[in-house]
Structure 1
Amino acid sequence: MATIKEIARAAGVSHSTVSRALNDSPLIAEGTKEKIRQLASEMDFEVNHAARSLNRRVSNVIGIVTPPFFGDMKSELFFASLTDQLIRALQDEGYLIKMEYGGAENGRVRKLSRGRNVDGLIIIDKDLPKSDAAFLKFEQMPVVFLHYEPEQFTPDEVYLVKTDHHTGGFLAGEHLLENNRRRLMSLTAKDGVSIEYTERTDGFLHALKTHRAPDPVVLKTALSFHAAYETVSMTPAIAKREIDGLFAQTDIIALAAIEAMKDMGVRVPEEIAVVGYDNIEIGSYFKPHLTTIEQPVRPMVETACRLLLEQMSGKNPPFQHVRIKPTLIKRDSVVASS
């Protein structure tokens, strides 16, 4: 008797395509379904109806998988807000929640999903191991990736909801330029952290190019408050006022930069204006109140929940990447240069 893997090899398609075709998924073309069914018949493949019945069992539980650093809320206040709103939205729909912290690296995606202990997953993590990614594709578990773009999936095989970070970076750069700030710097993550920081930088550079502004300085740092404070404190271009505007790509490092500049005798925003990113609540309490780019947390959560619940109800919407535009929040850390 043939296996799904053998049928996939014979048909020249993925395991998940074979599984979807045999389950009559509307995501698979009729011609492909017919070819796979014919091969399954010729290769003496039999569907395990008992297993299929078990797989359709409803647990009324949704799993949420977060990255391993998520336990450190001091530096991840944005994720605290995102996950809090996500849990509330799912509970309002009547679901129980199972959380896995750092689950991807430890194979807990498979543990959480195996035996249909959950009806669906929302994954806030980009670094799934290949074995977990293969498991999700094969099992056809309803899944939505939120905030992070998974590296192991192509656009035509995943549901993704995230911020349009290119627009976010553009808004930050444009706001500084509109306030007569022309000598700009961006404080961003070190290489390899996440594609979102590349997208923010690209948007920032696009704004400067659009407005024919000089090329900025791009300064890289670890994303903790302490690391950003130290980085800014040791940057001569800031001490010498060689820049007049700073786009810090998280609110945490923006607040660290402001505190460092205060200790250096740099006046914010008069000498150097600052724009952050995330709109975490604490930014509105620091002095000066932080101008920032607000990530669209509520629309992201609502969209992710809708896509997951549609999958769970059998509607099977087309795979899609949803990028939701952020908003500029104007406060006191940016004023027009005299």
Structure 2
Amino acid sequence: MSYNTSKSPIERIIDYYVRNVPHATQRRLSTWLFRFLVGATVIVVGFPTYVMLKASIQPELELFSNTFLFVPQNPTLENFAGLFTETSFARFYLNSIVAALGTMVISVVSATLAGYSLTRFSFPGKKRLAQSVLFSYMFPPLLLALPMFMIWRDLQLLNSYPGIILAHSAHALPFDIWLMWKFFQTVPISYEESAWIYGASRLRAMRDVAIPMALPGIIAVSIFSFAISWSDFTFANLLLTQESMKTLPIGMLGFIEQQAVNWGLIMSASVMMALPAFLLVYFLQSYLLRGFSVGGLG
């Protein structure tokens, strides 16, 4: 069999594979290659999580031993117990939960109303306004945090739940509004017009027709807003200076001492910090899929 000398070695190997290997064998090889790539991806992505979980239940002597153990020999919950007995972790956790839930509620309500208005009402400069909203998200948080600190200080919003919730909402809303604007564009207005014909008001048509069909966007906005607040460091570091008002990203800095780093506390705190985000996505995924089916996108 002659080969085209202009082809590269890889191209000749692929050509030989396609021409001479049976199709059944090609399918089996493709399946095993796909499984290998998926498994390799899971290992690469999941290995840091595995190290975090393992280190959180290892005693200090075992954690810093020279021998790497895939499974801890003496698992313990001392690190988790130390979080609540030796540190103010419970207070940091409560502050983060309040800030994240407050940000999620404000962002969902504001973004839903803004996205619906940008889609259903006509006014001068509407398209330019919608595009500029996303552009404002390009500014780094530190650029916004400094003037926000001065404004919040004059309004006496420093070291308060409303202050940090408003700051996180202001940071998350540009993308949330743009996302809801795009989702409401996929909702046919004819469905709302049918509701109007049967006597429904615009508000009721929006509540019973438009919002259920835009549910995937609302769930995505909820998750995004929660994540923005839950992992924020910049705004919380400037606006929350009292020890009793610090959130998790700021409070965990106390685990890094001048002479040493308490890795056991850091890893157990990281597990506790990752848990709410995991549970949020896990329990909302069914509603997300249901929203796709309601919206005719599934």
**Same fold by TM-score greater than 0.5:** no
TM (norm. structure 2) is 0.24
Higher strand share: 1
Structure of greater Rg: 2
Higher helix share: 2
- Highest relative contact order (Cα 8 Å, sep 6+), 1 or 2? 2
